């Protein structure tokens, strides 16, 4: 069984974007009583990603890039929700 946290798994998968800034926050406690809250940790996350890979792409294209990279986590882990802030370095 893979014991890596969801945050660590996300960092590993997003490394291909060579982010110059990556911050992932666990917001699970803010969702107590909401759908997907299992009582455990790291089910509801928020990520801020700054990468040159996002240059020239709109917000939707950036988020699609990230979600494609993270697609396996939705079935492999207890991850329920992920909010994203995706920015190019000049932003």
For position 65, what pLDDT does the model report?
A: 97
For position 50, what pLDDT does the model report?
A: 98
Residue 47 lies in a domain: yes
Domain count, the chain: 1
Residue 51 lies in a domain: yes
Distance CA 68, CA 33 (A): 28
pTM: predicted TM-score of the whole model, two decimal places: 0.80
For residue 77, the domain's CATH number is: 3.30.300.90
Per-residue pLDDT of the chain (91 residues), as tens digits, is 455 688 999 999 999 999 999 999 988 766 555 554 455 667 778 999 999 999 999 999 999 999 999 998 888 877 778 999 999 999 9
Residue 1 lies in a domain: no
Domain containing 56 equals: 6-87
């Amino acid at each position: 069984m893979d014991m890596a946290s969801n945050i660590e798994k996300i960092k590993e998968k997003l490394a291909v974007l060579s982010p110059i800034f990556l911050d992932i926050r666990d917001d699970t406690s803010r969702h107590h009583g909401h759908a997907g809250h299992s009582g455990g940790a790291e089910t509801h996350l928020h990520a801020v990603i700054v990468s040159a890979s996002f240059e020239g792409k709109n917000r939707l294209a950036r988020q699609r890039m990230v979600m494609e990279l993270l697609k396996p986590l939705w079935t492999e882990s207890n991850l329920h929700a992920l909010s994203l802030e995706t920015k190019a370095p000049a932003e």
